[in-house]
Structure 1
Amino acid sequence: MPRRLARFLPRRRRSSHPPRRLTALLLAVALLPLLPATARAAAPADHPPSAPAARSAVAAMQPGWNLGNTYDAIPDETSWGNPPVTRALLKKVKSQGFKSIRLPVTWGVHQGAAPGYTLDPAWTAKVRQVVDWALDEDLYVLLNMHHDSWMWVNNLSTDHDAVLARYTATWTQIAAEFRDKPSRLVFESINEPTFSGTSGDDENYRLLAELNRVFHRIVRDSGGGNASRLLVLPTLYTNADQGRLDALAAELTALRDPMVATTIHFYGWWPFSVNIAGYTRFDATSEQDLTATFDRAYDTFTARGIPVIIGEYALLAYDHNRPGIIQRGEQRKYFEFLGDYARRRQLTTMLWDAGQFLNRTTLQWRDAELFGQIRSSWTTRSGTASSDMVFLPKSGAITSRTLTLNTNGADFQGLRHGSRTLVKGRDYTVSGNQLTLTASALTELAGDRAYGVNSTLEARFSRGVPWRIDVITHDVPVLSNASGSTSGLSLPTQFRGDMLATMEARYDDGSNAGPADWTSYQQWDTAFSAYTGDSIKLTAEFFNALKDGSRVTLTFHFWSGSKVTYYVTKSGSTATGTPA
């Protein structure tokens, strides 16, 4: 996914930077150039053609993984924090069950001037080496043109002939370089196409259709394996709104090439994926956004025999360097549901990994439990619960706690604490979908009741992976006075075992305060953050949005259910804060 702020902005009803994102061609394929004219004419004029070979290839690409922020990085492969690619990395990816990789490549910063726009041979050799390594590992490879989309291709409307000449020269060289590679190499015309200076969607659709036609002609006319290679075309913005899908369907009808697939991207319901407007949970709204998106892709393409690749999927704000934006259990619910529903809708998924999932230095998953959930979702559902946290008070009597089980069609089989199986009736009870942990069991699990996680349980089901439940001791967090600059203010905080969920901001008249003035619940990382154990931080962007001299009431919501009120005042370039 691009390392661009646009990834974090509200979607044009698109998928969703971090979103800082997602398939065996048969040897005997029904190739359009080789089909009899009568067979080619058989496809209805108002229906995109399709081929079993294209559908088989995309199905064989499931699941896929993105080599993100590497060959798409600017200016070089290590510029955005990842180490050079090794054969061992691709072996690891293959060993983890992936069947394909998407190889995003930014070509424009590695090519000469007009009129030749010659690609740097050393850069092309690097890309070719990774393609060869992946093919040798029996992986499919989806090779594309990536950040060029917003670096120069987006000027197609205002600088049409120059952009088209460069696009043509670039793809002509790529097609020639890889024309004799096996059919497991697949080409994608452009990543997240966008155009500047246009009159609106109608012009955008026309420009994208023109690009895709040029791409299609170049690749097919280059011969060799390219004459029958699977080609992947995106919607505008790689978004799955119905208008975008319909426009691409019209393109496919005009191309009349059965060896073509479509692609969209998905990063979740935008408020949930960035933690804004109080959407801290993967709730019914987030679930409905996902199902509606996948249903539209299915109805428009898959149900009509046109394969769909979700070329990138993840959560926009998921990043191992910024934990807490999206709570861990809610992440797991999202990925569990996404994997299952994509499978039901026959969509091939390609995980966007810019290094936040797989550590490319150690070749270990940064969160093995989360990846276990993702991998399990490729084949089955897993049980979850309303939360993966049970909060207990630091002092006073411990009482029973109840969670709602989401069995997702599985059978609940019990609880384990380490190697010990908890006893039903004594340690917990189950009534319908209500799991209750008894006071006596929780008292034992809390131990000396130190702040934080005291014990971790596993809820086990008849299929899928276990659901983690942390038993946590906490008190209401305590914030202290703060003073400093509007360039950023740290509020000293004793979290006392609790974790911040979100923050509201209002002026004394009740109106919303902060950058997102359409909601009282501000966006994590844009207005506030809490990455250390000693403070909550308010950003310069937050203070820049405040009225000078006005007091703002902050309400901090914590995952235990605790709320803490705090006041901040901006006076010129000075900021002060006091507890309520």
Structure 2
Amino acid sequence: MAGGAAALLAAGVMVAVSAQAAAGCRVTYSVASQWPGGFTGNVAVTNLGDPINGWSLVWTFPNGQAVTQAWNAAVTSSGSQVTARNVSYNAAIATNATVSFGFNGSWTGSNTAPTSFALNGTVCTGSVGGTASPTVSPSASVSPSVSPTVSPTTSPQPGNAMAAVAAMQPGWNLGNSLDAVGADETAWGNPRVTAALLDNVRAQGFNSIRIPVTWSNHHGSAPNYTIDAAWLNRVKEVVDWAIADGFYVMINIHHDSWQWINTMPSDRTNVLARYNALWTQIAAAFRGHSSRLVFESVNEPQFTGASDEAQSISLLNELNTSFRSIVRASGGGNASRLLVIPTLHTSADAARVDPALNWFTATGDANLIATVHYYGYWPFSVNVAGGTRFDATVQSDLTGAFDRVYNAFVARRIPVIIGEYGLLGFDRHTGTIEQGEKLKFFEYFGYYARNRQITTMLWDNGQHLGRTSFAWADAELIGQIKSSWTTRSGTASSDQVYVSRTAAITSKSLTLNLNGLSFQGLRQGTTDLANGADYTVSGSTLTLTAAAVTRLVGSRAYGVNTNIQARFSAGVPWRISIITYDTPILAGATGTTGAFAVPAQFRGDQLATMEARYADGSNAGPHNWTSFKEFDVTFAPNYTANTITLKPEFFAEVNEGQRVTLTFHFWSGAQLTYYVTKSGGNVTGTLT
């Protein structure tokens, strides 16, 4: 035993010593992301003393920083002193256990990290009665960490699935790793999953993690379909890391849904036997695991060649019924384990929600969770058919989906998890949708999910949080997402103000979306703009004066001259880019259907969308039910190369020899006409 203790100490693990009312703690403070005037902070508190139930952490900001929102803790401030108290589900901290919370904050001048923390009145020195310094990682480039040996502090109560699913909010997907189709988890380009990655995700404020798993390449043949021992052990390893971090964890059968489960209409016997064999083995492997582990029957169920919707629903019901029976019969923790049941296609459409509700009602199992996915109103989500803005139609699609699952399930005490969310255009890159419009979508998404008591899990296949850098690719996006977990943020009709380089400078106006908040002012860097001299507000109209615009554009170089922030009584600030532009200039060109680019001098402007029509006014190219083509699939701007590429996918559906009129729409409001004609594999582009 002495040797074991020495080994633990050598590994840096704190060993609790029996003592009466022993007290001690360690705090890891980090800045996950930072932007002018704002930042996201993460705090991990490890209790090194006797178990406590109810905690309060106090620190003082050295530079007058302030917390504006928080998650997983109730935070109050008095001057520069901050007090973070537990919330209902994380009051207990066992010896050597860790709780984490996060916050958005504001800063001016500098953002130096606090160096002293006190937990329930005890200064956190990193030991019990010791003098070690607290661990502080103020740099956004330093990854927060949580000890992988943390034990869960709470467990879902049997029969109270609503409370457990509420505690799972917010959630994150470990996408394109264990679900990758290929030899192993690196087949789709992501590195091997590490404990450090999961530690970091937990420190970001996520309470649950969905770990999609594809089994098709990792099991033997009929009739046993034996899962490869190495693969099952790897899945268990990652699950165990996540549970040790205090996550709720969801695992499933993932891309198998479209690889072989979808053939069930024509191969029912074999598909059902294979499905049952896999879940029998998975259930047995995890029957002794924490109740924080939940099972999802299948990802995005779909059936190729089904005679109609009714047959697809019947087949899904059969799979879900078999899944539930196998798991429950396996005993151990599986007898009451939370099980996640998808609708057909994991869709929130009424035609899929209502049959799922009938299945839940007939089953009568109190430990079930309904799940759907949400990737937004399709034209907006991929930027096609003119869907460039987060408008009333996009918002209505979102509220309709959330209202349907709330009325069907949540109102009946059946919890709902949106197991994946994002925008479909993210499959290419996050710039498919204009930044401000994208941020408005996620602000409203988080708010309305909270309003409808729905737990959400961000789909991340590696394009959001770096798997080894632990840095967010888009600090504004994650800042907006985190803020939406607890409050609303103000936005505006645009995040861009375009100022012509050659015209006389005039005042510029935007419409504020207050979202129930109050407008607090404008700031450039650390300098507040003056109400009256620099801007005025009338109702919801914010107007920058001509004098302020003149100062903000400076020498009037093309592009973003500066950024200012609209600040509100809560939430994250709204960035407004002041942009100098002139109408873009296009030029004629020749090329091929496989490689054609329109020469473009963008002159500070940015492309929003493109229309394509034949001379008779009919629509040209793919999706010919609309004149507006799909951004980044049929066309794409390249601001570095000064070109607009027309892709082979566009010309594949353009009529031979017919001239196509293209209309390029820019965010400044400018519209330019261009003509292309396809002849065999050649393309000619002209201005007239």
Decide: shared fold, TM above 0.5: yes
Aligned counterpart, 1:196: 304
Q: Match of 2:291? A: 183
The secondary structure found in structure 2 opposite 1:318 is helix
* Aligned with 1:174 (options 282, 291, 295): 282
Measured against aligned partners, the alpha-carbon deviations of 1:243-292 in whole angstroms (never above 9, x if no partner) come to 21111111112222110010000000000000011010000000000000
Equivalents in 2 of 1:572, 1:310: separation in Å? 47
Residue 90 of structure 1: how far off its partner (Å) = 0.7
SS at match of 2:437: helix
Contact (CA 8 Å) 1:277, 1:521: kept in 2 or not?
yes
Aligned partner (choices 489, 497, 512) of residue 604 of structure 2:
497
Query: Who is 1:62 aligned against?
Result: 169
Deviation at 1:396, TM superposition (A): 2.9
Matched, 1:80 2:220: no
Rounded to whole Å, the distance in 1 between the matches of 2:155 and 2:198 is 24
Instruction: Give the match's secondary structure for 1:372.
Output: helix
Work out which of the residue numbers 474, 490, 494 in structure 2 matches 1:387: 494
Task: Give the number of the structure whose residues are more often strand, by fraction.
Answer: 2
The equivalent of 2:397 in structure 1 is 289
Q: Distance in 2 between matches of 1:259 and 1:244?
A: 21
Cα distance in 1 for partners of 2:360, 2:601 equals 58
1:400-424 residue CA offsets vs partner (Å, 9 max, x unmatched): 0000000000000000000110000
- In structure 2, the partner of 1:409 is 516
**Structure 2 residue 681 is the aligned partner of structure 1 residue 576:** no
Q: 2:368 aligns with which of 256, 260, 272?
A: 260
1:114 aligns with 2:184: no
> Structure 1 residue aligned with 2:665, among 537, 549, 557?
557
- What's the counterpart of residue 512 of structure 1? 619
Which position in structure 1 is the counterpart of 2:138? none
**Match in the other structure for 1:345:** 452
Distance 2:430 2:681 in 1: 30
- Of residues 464, 469, 483, the one that matches 1:376 is 483
Is contact 2:156–2:292 with CA below 8 Å preserved after alignment? Answer: no
Q: 1:59 deviation in Å?
A: 0.6
Q: How does 1:438-477 map to 2 (within 5 A)?
A: 438-477=545-584
Q: Could you say which residue in structure 2 is the equivalent of 1:317?
A: 425
Distance 1:254 1:297 in 2: 18
| Superposition deviation, residue 361 in structure 1 | 2.0
CA–CA separation in structure 2 for the residues paired with 1:134 and 1:451: 48
What is the CA distance between 1:27 and its match in structure 2? 5.5
Taking a change above 3 Å as real, the CA distance of residues 138 and 122 of structure 1, as seen in their structure-2 partners, is: same
* Distance in 2 of aligned mates of 1:496 and 1:28: 57
Q: In the alignment, which residue of structure 2 is the partner of 1:525?
A: 632
Q: Which moved more, 1:449-458 or 1:473-482?
A: 473-482
* Superposed displacement of residue 124, structure 1: 1.2
- Provide the C-alpha distance between the structure 2 equivalents of 1:29 and 1:81, rounded to a whole number of angstroms: 39
Contact map agreement 1:322 1:531 (CA 8 A) in 2: no
1:271 aligns with 2:379: yes
Q: Which residue of 2 aligns with 1:124?
A: 232
Cα distance, 1:323 vs. partner? 4.9
Equivalent residues of 2:301, 2:316 under 8 A apart: yes
Query: Could you say what secondary structure the match of 1:504 adopts?
Result: strand
| Partner Cα distance (1:115, 1:412) in 2 | 66
Superimposed CA distance per residue, residues 443-467 of structure 1 (whole angstroms, 9 cap, x where no aligned partner): 1110111111000000000000000
The answer to whether the aligner puts 1:227 opposite 2:335 as a matched pair is yes
- 2:198 aligned counterpart, secondary structure: helix
**Aligned CA distance change for structure 1 residues 28 and 433 (closer, same or farther; 3 Å):** closer
What residue is the counterpart of 2:133 in the other structure?
none
C-alpha separation in 1, matches of 2:513 and 2:370: 33
Listed one character per residue, the Cα deviations across residues 480-529 of structure 1 (whole Å, up to 9, x for unaligned) are 12211112311111111111100000001111001110000011122111
Decide which of 305, 316, 319 is 1:211's aligned counterpart: 319
Please give the alpha-carbon distance, in whole angstroms, between the structure 2 residues aligned to 1:281 and 1:322.
Answer: 17
**Residue 420 of structure 1: which of 514, 522, 527 is its match?**
527
Within 2, Cα distance between the matches of 1:328 and 1:186? 35
Are 1:155 and 2:260 counterparts? no
Counterpart Cα distance in 2 of 1:118 and 1:258: 31
TM-score (normalised: structure 2): 0.77
Check conservation: 1:527, 1:538, Cα contact below 8 A: yes
Counterpart secondary structure, 1:248: helix
SS at match of 1:364: coil
Mapped partners of 1:263, 1:398: distance in 2: 52
Contact 1:414/1:461 (<8 A) preserved: yes
Instruction: Indicate the residue corresponding to 1:304 in structure 2.
Output: 412
Q: 2:155–2:292: 8 Å Cα contact kept in structure 1?
A: no
One-letter amino acid of the counterpart of residue 602, structure 2 = F
TM-score normalised according to structure 1 size = 0.91
Equivalent residue number for residue 593 of structure 2: 486
User: Which amino acid letter does the alignment assign opposite residue 524 of structure 2?
Assistant: H
Structure ID, larger Rg: 2
CA distance in structure 2 between the aligned counterparts of 1:289 and 1:516, rounded to whole angstroms: 21
Per-residue Cα deviation, 1:171-224 (whole angstroms, up to 9, x for no partner):
111111111000000000000000011111110110000000110011001111
CA distance in 1, matches of 2:444, 2:459: 17
- Contact 2:156-2:291 at 8 Å conserved across structures: no
Question: What is the CA deviation profile of residues 516-550 of structure 1, one whole-angstrom value per residue up to 9, with x for unaligned ones?
Answer: 10000011122111144311111111111111001
- Partners of 2:157 and 2:436 in 1: how far apart? 44
Question: Any stretches of 5+ residues in structure 2 without a counterpart?
Answer: 1-88, 90-151
State the distance in 2 between where 1:197 and 1:532 align: 44
Q: Name the count of aligned residue pairs.
A: 535
Q: Does 1:244 align with 2:382?
A: no
Q: 1:323 to 1:28 in 2, by over 3 A?
A: closer
User: 2 CA distance for matches of 1:199 and 1:323?
Assistant: 37
Partner of 2:245: 137
**Retained in 2: the 8 A contact 1:324–1:531?**
no
Aligned 8 A contact 1:66 1:103 in 2: yes
SS at match of 2:315: helix
| SS across alignment from 1:396 | coil
| Contact 1:567/1:577 (<8 A) preserved | yes
CA distance in structure 2 between the partners assigned to 1:404 and 1:311 by the alignment: 34
The amino acid that maps onto 1:274 is V
Amino acid at match of 1:421: D
Q: In structure 1, list runs of 5 or more residues that go unmatched.
A: 1-23, 31-50
Q: Distance in 1 between matches of 2:316 and 2:649?
A: 35
Using the alignment, how far apart are the partners of 1:231 and 1:368 within structure 2? 34
| Cα RMSD after superposing both structures | 1.2
Rounded Cα–Cα distance in structure 1 between residues aligned with 2:189 and 2:601: 33
1:17-32 equivalences in 2 (<5 Å): 29-30=157-158
User: Comparing both structures, which one devotes a greater share of its residues to helix?
Assistant: 1
Q: Output the amino acid matched with 1:394.
A: R
Take 1:536 and 1:177, find their aligned partners in 2: how far apart are those partners? 53
Partner secondary structure for residue 678 of structure 2? strand
Once residues 425 and 566 of structure 1 are traced to their aligned partners in structure 2, the CA distance between those partners, rounded to angstroms, is: 44
Secondary structure of residue in 2 paired with 1:457: strand
Greater RCO, 1 or 2 (C-alpha within 8 Å, sep 6+)? 1
